[in-house]
């Protein structure tokens, strides 16, 4: 509590008077909020200004929704620490997923044991050092010493060129070369193997040798020709951030009011359940949007992720996804009593499933059948299809009808559940 106040004071410009700071004197408490205050007011004005709103009297439902939305908005902006976390989290995740969790492997240390010592073998090694995938180095010791190199991780791959490499190559198009690949990381090993094939292919082509296979296999990689993982992760992070923020924050809004007793005060007023729910959802939609914008901006500017699709479509379908996540949070918070339990539920329902089961990191197609069925209830699954489609493929709404429909149904069901589950009294 005390800490939170320190932050508020540190915020300074907002000039929110703290009783402690004023030493209890009456004078000076009514100090103005200053410039930041004015900005806040202006923003709050969108949600119905202090200056008067004539339409309020004519539409009490709208007035009540706006009153709740405005209050909720103040809760958000005055909680400086939470706000900081909300905007730092996507940045951190982008850095982790975009840089650290890089699926591409570059400059693999490769030990080369060259028994051939010929022009041909030197050319082969040059081909490897010329590619950005490998960093070959000559290794003079006996082949048995390679084991130690792998164990100490000084090499992740090794190439053994036999002594008869050059004559064999001259005599026939086939000359065997041995490759040893550290497969303690199976995923990485697969990549290394692919790269080896690629380099050998280039080597053969340089020597003017066509493969003997009668048809020419060439793979065209679409939408992400460089197979950059940041292209894959940046849109994915939007999906994760949105569901985490939306679900987590809304799940504690109602439970917080139950804990502090303010819910009682709301319940004795003529407010209706849907007014409370809508009033609480609105400001968080705006917040989630602001957060998504940070990720999109960073993705486009810092990671240079291409954006092929329609921005309007992205905004529209993102709204749908946000509403789904918010409704999930609200549904949780209408069922539980304390903030802690609500947060736990929200985390269990969002973080892990989104990371593991939505296709964010692991492809759904490679999951066991049973888990594949589970993925159908995870909103991020659909949104990932949407956001990756729009970003990388320039998908239009017609291409995304199925995931959109699934999300819409989910949002509707959850929203209705949360309104119906919302108890208008203190009974369970």
Partner 1 sequence: MSTNTEIAVKTADLTRAFGRFVAVDRVSIEVHKGEIFGFLGANGAGKTTVIRVLCGLLRPTSGSATVAGFDVYTRSEQIKRNIGYMSQKFSLYEDLTVGENIDFYGGIYGLTQGQIRKKEEEVFTSFGLGTYARTLTASLPLGFKQRLALGCAMLHDPPILFLDEPTSGVDPKARREFWDIIHQTSEKGTTILVTTHFMEEAEYCHRILIMDAGRIIALDTPHNLKKLRGKESVQDVFVTLVRKEIERRREDEDKAAGRKETEGRKETEGRHG
Say whether residue 197 binds partner 1 (CB under 8 A): no
Stretch that binds partner 1, among 102-110, 145-153, 268-276, 360-368 (CB under 8 A): 268-276
Please give the structure tokens belonging to residue 109: 């240390």
| CB-based contacts of 351, cutoff 8 Å, min separation 6 | 240, 244
Do 277 and 334 form a contact (C-beta atoms < 8 A)?
Answer: no
Q: Which is nearer to partner 1, 40 or 378 (CB)?
A: 40
Report d(CA 66, CA 418) in Å as an integer. 19
Q: From the CB of 294, what's the least distance to partner 1, in Å?
A: 24
Determine which residue in the list 34, 63, 306, 394 makes contact with partner 1, applying CB under 8 A: 63
Say whether residue 78 binds partner 1 (CB under 8 A): yes
For residue 114, the cross-strand partners are: 161
CA distances from 70 to 49, 59, 282 (A): 9, 16, 9
Q: From the CB of 274, what's the least distance to partner 1, in Å?
A: 13
Element at 296 (helix H, strand E): helix 273-301
Determine which residue in the list 186, 222, 268, 398 makes contact with partner 1, applying CB under 8 A: 268
Say whether residue 81 binds partner 1 (CB under 8 A): no
Q: What are phi and psi of 22, to 5 degrees?
A: -90, 0
Nearest to 88 by CA among 304, 370, 294, 378: 294
Determine which residue in the list 3, 10, 52, 220 makes contact with partner 1, applying CB under 8 A: 52
Please give the structure tokens belonging to residue 63: 């007035």
Say whether residue 20 binds partner 1 (CB under 8 A): yes
Say whether residue 66 binds partner 1 (CB under 8 A): yes
Please give the structure tokens belonging to residue 214: 């009668």
Report d(CA 236, CA 383) in Å as an integer. 9
Say whether residue 178 binds partner 1 (CB under 8 A): no
Say whether residue 265 binds partner 1 (CB under 8 A): yes
Report d(CA 252, CA 254) in Å as an integer. 6
Say whether residue 75 binds partner 1 (CB under 8 A): yes
Q: From the CB of 277, what's the least distance to partner 1, in Å?
A: 14
Say whether residue 48 binds partner 1 (CB under 8 A): yes
Determine which residue in the list 19, 45, 145, 173 makes contact with partner 1, applying CB under 8 A: 19
Q: From the CB of 72, what's the least distance to partner 1, in Å?
A: 10
Q: Quick one: 405 exposed, middle or buried, by C-beta within 10 A (0-12, 13-18, 19+)?
A: exposed
β-strands 157-161, 108-114: how paired?
parallel
Please give the structure tokens belonging to residue 243: 């569901």
Determine which residue in the list 10, 26, 213, 301 makes contact with partner 1, applying CB under 8 A: 26
Where does this chain bind partner 1 (CB under 8 A)? 1, 5, 8, 16-20, 24, 26-27, 29-33, 48-54, 56-57, 60, 63-64, 66-68, 70-71, 74-75, 78-79, 260-262, 264-271, 424-427
């Amino acid at each position: 509590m005390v800490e939170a106040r320190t932050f508020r004071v540190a915020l300074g410009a907002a000039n929110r008077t703290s009783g402690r700071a004023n030493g209890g004197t009456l004078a000076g408490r009514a100090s103005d909020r200053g410039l930041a205050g004015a900005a806040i007011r202006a923003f709050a004005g969108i949600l119905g200004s202090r200056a008067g709103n004539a339409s309020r009297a004519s539409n009490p439902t709208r007035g009540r929704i706006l009153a709740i939305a405005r209050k909720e908005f103040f809760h958000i902006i005055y909680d400086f620490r939470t706000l900081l976390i909300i905007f730092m989290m996507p940045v951190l995740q982008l850095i982790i997923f975009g840089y650290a969790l890089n699926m591409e492997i570059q400059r693999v240390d490769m030990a080369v044991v060259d028994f051939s010592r010929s022009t041909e073998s030197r050319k082969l090694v040059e081909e490897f050092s010329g590619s950005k995938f490998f960093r070959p180095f000559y290794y003079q010791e006996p082949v048995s010493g390679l084991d130690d190199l792998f164990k100490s991780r000084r090499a992740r791959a090794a190439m053994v060129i036999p002594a008869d490499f050059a004559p064999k190559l001259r005599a026939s198009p086939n000359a065997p070369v041995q490759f040893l690949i550290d497969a303690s990381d199976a995923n990485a090993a697969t990549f290394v193997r692919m790269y080896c094939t690629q380099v050998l292919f280039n080597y053969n082509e340089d020597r003017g040798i066509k493969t003997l296979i009668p048809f020419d296999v060439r793979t065209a990689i679409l939408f992400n020709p460089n197979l950059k993982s940041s292209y894959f992760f940046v849109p994915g992070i939007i999906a994760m951030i949105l569901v985490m923020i939306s679900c987590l924050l809304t799940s504690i809004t109602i439970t917080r009011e139950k804990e502090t007793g303010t819910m009682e005060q709301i319940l004795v007023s003529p407010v209706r359940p849907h007014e409370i729910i809508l009033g609480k959802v609105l400001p968080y939609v705006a917040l989630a949007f602001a957060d998504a914008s940070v990720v999109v901006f960073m993705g486009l500017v810092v990671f240079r992720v291409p954006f092929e699709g329609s921005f309007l479509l992205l905004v529209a379908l993102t709204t749908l996804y946000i509403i789904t996540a918010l409704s999930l949070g609200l549904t949780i918070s209408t069922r539980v009593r304390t903030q802690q339990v609500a947060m736990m539920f929200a985390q269990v329902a969002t973080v892990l499933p989104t990371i593991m089961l939505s296709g964010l990191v692991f492809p759904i197609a490679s999951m066991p059948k049973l888990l594949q069925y589970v993925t159908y209830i995870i909103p991020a699954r659909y949104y990932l299809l949407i956001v990756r489609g729009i970003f990388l493929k320039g998908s239009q709404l017609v291409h995304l009808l199925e995931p959109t429909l699934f999300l819409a149904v989910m949002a509707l069901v959850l929203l209705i559940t949360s309104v119906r589950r919302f108890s208008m009294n203190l009974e369970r």
